[in-house]
Amino acid sequence: MTPSQPSTSPDAVRVLVPVGMLGGGFPPATIDRGIALGADIIAVDGGSTDSGPHYLGTATAKTARGAVARDLRNILFAAKTAGIPVVVGSCGTSGTDAGVEWVHDIAAEIAAEVGIVLEVSRIYSEQSASQLEPLLVAGRIRPLAPARPLTAETLRSCRHIVGLMGHEPIADALAGGADLVLSGRATDTALIAALPLLRGLPAGPTWHAAKIAECGGLCTTNPRTGGVLLTIDDLGFTVEPLDADSACTPTSVAAHMMYENADPFRMREPAGTLDTRDATYTAIDDRRVRVEGSRFEPADVYTIKLEGSAAVGYQTIIISGIRDPDILAHIDEWCDRIINHIDQNAPETLGLAAADYDVQIRRYGHDAVLGAAEPEADRPPREVGIVFIATATDQATATQLAKFANPFLLHAPLEGQHTLPSFAFLGSPAEIERGPIHQFVLQHAVDVTTPQELFRTVDTKVGQ
Amino acid sequence: MKTTVGELASHVRSKNAGPFWITIDLFFPDTDTYRRASTSPIADTATIAARYSIDPAGIRIFLLPDLAAIKISFPRPTHQGSIHDRDMHAGQQYVPLLDVEIPSGVNKQQH
């Protein structure tokens, strides 16, 4: 089959994705070029779970405020001038309500600064354990592999819970005339898919296009320069880079289905599953790729995936260095002696139960990164960076554990060694308090009656 | 002669696929090398299970001949960011596969 040329039909929808993460930075020309090529909307993701559970647990952003402001400044004025809307997904890294407000405040500042008025829709996706518990009791929350069934106790342990919205609440806001949609947690693809689906384009090409573009320029031959423009039509989609020196090739585009996906052919969305097994990737010229044949299988039940982050305690660490070859030749024995000494003596000295704390030693330069999977663990290292980690139910106890461990980390000899060695501490104070530590505890999905059920939208105006 | 994954692959990477899965992508430079790899121990769940001390039942291996690539996904042995996790983004977890031997196909296809 000969692929169709990129559509020039007025029914095609063009989505400009300037960068994979708001705050990541892109050349300002990216926006001008995308608008010149006919962009109907600018979509940019503001979050991910990839930086770990701290950001959801504390409802704070991992990105620098100034970097988010710089990117928004480059987007908002140009979009308003061109008369096209902007969607930001998963605001503030984890898409909590505080994250939506954080981006909203930045956008309001910029609107006032550049003298534009924007109709803003804020879509909140944060969930409370008390509202989810009746759904759990009703059997409407299911585990996703490899999780076990959810308990009310786990729900209640979460500091923050978000639901990943599909495209519908965003499409509703666009249909209502929003210039700027600031959404809480959404699937990375939903913000890109919202306008094409609102305009009636088919789900297969739309979701596939959205997945390809979700990381901006990562589907191009030069991932570090600018983003991409998608043109989605009735038969498929075309993707092209916005940097003049970059290119999309059938391989760079097809390979992106593998990125951060456990399954390279099938991807679950709230409304169903994208299936790309029969998709064809064809070069239109030396920088644009045409994709056709993507399918979307609607699910029997519409589901919203949950993410939740619970506090697990507080940490204090000590960083030290070892260069002595005799110690390094027996590094396992040296570490075991310290951990055993703490386990045998700290509970009584500090008044702790064994279950109330955790101590571990990471050996950077030896096996800190791979642990038991380290293939060269039998080779003595030349130098090792020691990170001692104490975790306890409160910060003071974690720090007391670190202080208790301090003299052993500084002076512990090997068995039978009669001199007292000293090792190279990073600085003074030796102990570094890391604050509260969180962990992801939800890998579950809620059966909902409507795509909007778990989300709340507030429409306001910013600027003057 | 080049015989290991590290020597034969053009690119190997690992990453989280959400907080509870890890996924490893192996790209080969040409179809012949890919074919050799796709019938070798690197595409066998037993090899992966042994390298990471994990249950073979949870391992998913995808062969992508069009991309000359193999994808290996499995539940994260430690959840992303939990206190015993060693690699927040799972960005270095491909390394234990680099010295897996890929036998040469020379003696295999005697017609």
State pLDDT tens for residues A136-170. 999 999 999 999 999 999 999 999 999 999 999 99
- In this complex, which of A50, A307, A373 lies closest to B16 when CB atoms are compared? A50
Q: Let me know if residue B73 belongs to a domain.
A: yes
- Give the N- to C-terminal CA distance of chain A in Å, as an integer: 53
Both tokens of residue A199?
């305009």
Enumerate long-range contacts of B55-62, CB under 8 Å, 24 or more apart: B58/A146, B60/A262, B60/A263, B62/A263, B62/A264, B62/A265
Minimum-distance CB partner of B92 among A313, A315, A369: A369
Give phi and psi for A168, each to the nearest 5. Answer: -65, -50
B11 assigned to some structural domain: yes
What's the structural domain count of chain B? 1
Q: Which residue of A has its CA nearest to B57?
A: A146
User: How many CB atoms are closer than 10 A to CB A66?
Assistant: 10
pLDDT at A4: 52
Query: Where residue B51 sits, what CATH number does that domain have?
Result: 3.30.70
CB A4 within 8 A of CB A236: yes
* B71 contacts on A by Cβ (under 8 Å): 258, 264
- The rounded percent of chain A whose pLDDT value lies above 70 is 98
Residue B26 falls within a domain, yes or no? yes
pLDDT digits (tens, 9 = 90+) for A273-325: 999 999 999 999 999 999 999 999 999 999 999 999 999 999 999 999 999 99
Integer Cα distance of B89 and B93 in angstroms: 9
Nearest-by-Cβ selection for B96 from A53, A260, A370: A370
A353-412, pLDDT tens digit by residue?
Answer: 999 999 999 999 999 999 999 999 999 999 999 999 999 999 999 999 999 999 999 999
pLDDT above 90: residue B93: yes
Residues in chain A: 464
Task: Confirm or reject contact between B57 and chain A (CB < 8 A).
Answer: no
- For position A8, what pLDDT does the model report? 61
Length of chain B: 111
Is residue A102 within a helix (H) or strand (E), and if so which, with residue range?
A: helix A97-114
- Residue A25 CB contacts under 8 Å (≥ 6 apart), including other chains: A19, A67, A70, A71
H or E element in which residue A348 lies: helix A331-350
Taking only the tens place, the pLDDT of each residue in B35-52 is 999 999 999 999 999 999
pLDDT tens-digit readout, A236-261: 999 999 998 999 999 999 999 999 99
Q: Among A268-272, A460-464, B91-95, where is mean pLDDT lowest?
A: A460-464
Q: What is the mean pLDDT of residues B99-111?
A: 70
| Whether B23 contacts chain A with CB within 8 A | yes
Record the pTM. 0.95
Residue B100 lies in a domain: no
Return phi, psi of residue A216, to 5°. 60, -125
Condensed to tens digits (0 to 9), the pLDDT of residues A104-136 reads 999 999 999 999 999 999 999 999 999 999 999
Contact of B80 with chain A, judged by CB distance below 8 Å, is answered with yes
Q: Is B67's CB within 8 Å of A437's CB?
A: no
Q: What are phi and psi of B18, to 5 degrees?
A: 80, 170
Say if B11 is an interface residue toward chain A (CB within 8 Å): no
B58 within domain boundaries:
yes
Q: Which domain holds residue B43?
A: 2-77
Q: Please, what sign has the CA dihedral across residues A176, A181, A185, A189?
A: positive
Name the residue among A393, A388, A419, A385 with its Cα closest to residue A404.
Answer: A388
Closest CA to A436 of A404, A402, A393: A393
Domains and CATH numbers, chain A: 13-125+164-302+448-463 (no CATH), 311-440 (3.30.70.600)
Q: Residue-wise over A393-420: b if at least 16 C-beta within 10 A, else e?
A: eebebbbbbbbbbbebbbebeeeeeeee
Q: Which helix (H) or strand (E) holds A289?
A: strand A289-292
Q: Domain for residue B21, yes or no? A: yes
pLDDT category at B110 given cuts 50, 70, 90 is very low
Ramachandran region of residue A38, left (φ > 0), alpha (ψ -120 to 50) or beta? left
Confidence of residue A7 (pLDDT cuts 50, 70, 90): low
**Alpha-carbon distance A19 to A44, whole Å?**
7
Residues with Cβ within 8 Å of residue A10, at least 6 apart in sequence: none
Question: Which DSSP symbol is given to A355?
Answer: G
pLDDT digit string (tens) for A60-82? Answer: 999 999 999 999 999 999 999 99
Strands A118-124, A180-183: parallel, antiparallel or unpaired by DSSP?
parallel
CB A431 within 8 A of CB A399: yes
CA dihedral (A26, A28, A30, A31) positive or negative: positive
Classify the complex by whether its ipTM is higher than 0.95, answering yes or no: no
